[in-house]
Amino acid sequence: MISQLLLAMPGGSEWILIILAVLILFGGRKIPEFMKGLGKGMREFNDAKNNVKEEFENGMKEPQKPAPTQASKN
Cβ(54)–Cβ(61) under 8 Å? no
Answer for the pair 30, 23: CB distance below 8 angstroms, yes or no. no
The 10s digit of each residue's pLDDT in 17-28 is: 988 888 888 787
Buried-state track 11-24, b at ≥16 Cβ within 10 A, e below 16: eeeeeeeeeeeeee
d(CA 43, CA 49) in angstroms, rounded, equals 10
Domains of the chain, residue spans: 28-53
Handedness of CA 55, 59, 62, 67 (dihedral sign): positive
Q: What is the pLDDT of residues 10-52, one digit of tens each?
A: 778 888 898 888 888 878 788 888 889 999 999 999 999 999 9
What's the distance, Cα to Cα, between the start and end of the chain in Å?
61
